[in-house]
Amino acid sequence: MRWIKRILISIVLLVAVAFGSAVLYGVAYGEGETAGYDSGYGSGYSTGQEAGYSSGRQDGYDEGHGLGKAEGYAGGYDEGFDEGVEAGLGHGYSLRDPTYRQALDFLERDKTDRGEYIEDTYVCSHFARDVCNNAEVEGLRCAYVGLIYPEGGHAIIALETIDRGLVYFDPQTDEKVNPVLGKPYYQCVVPREGYYYEKPSFDDTIQDILVVW
């Protein structure tokens, strides 16, 4: 009977050990799972957050930098170009040379020749200046021309026509002029029909012709 009793005791002990092991395994597994999850989650979250932040920051910087650079360059180039044109030319357009007919039409429209000559106040140089300024307003290239006499001189204007070349006009009368060195100015004027350009009381022989654009 003793051996039966010993077998029963052994069986009970084995069952107890097995049950205890199962309980300990469950506890250990639960604790390990919790600890592993906590540790893995924390580590993974930290690593993922850092990697995502770094990647997002770089991607955002690259995209923002590229877009900003493109927009800034385009805007800066356009604005700088416009300012450069204005500073270099004084206006935003280029002057053109007219045809001979266009030059005559401009002078016919221009009212400068109707002004009054006033000694020491509004003289030939003022007439020439005003015609040049008015031509520029209409987009025409017009030159200020200084004629040098033995004593004193005279101011007229010139336009470089695309069909007849450089042509000269007296801004006080709009008469055409063909200035020639060594020739008196009054002989160089092409008077209007029915008019005669009289010889002045002074020597108006042209000694030099200064064309200023």
Domain layout of the chain by residue ranges: 1-94, 100-212
Return the pLDDT at 196.
78
Phi/psi at 142 (5° precision): -135, 135
pLDDT tens by residue, 158-203: 999 999 999 999 999 999 999 999 999 999 999 988 777 789 999 9
Predicted confidence at residue 54, as pLDDT, reads 60
- Phi–psi pair at 122, nearest 5 degrees: -135, 100
**Res 102 pLDDT > 80:** yes
Residue 194 pLDDT: 75
Q: How far apart are the first and last CA of the chain?
A: 140
* CATH of region 100-212: 3.30.460
More confident position, 162 or 60: 162
User: In the predicted model, what is the mean pLDDT of the chain?
Assistant: 78
**What is the per-residue pLDDT for 17?**
46
% pLDDT > 70, the chain: 56
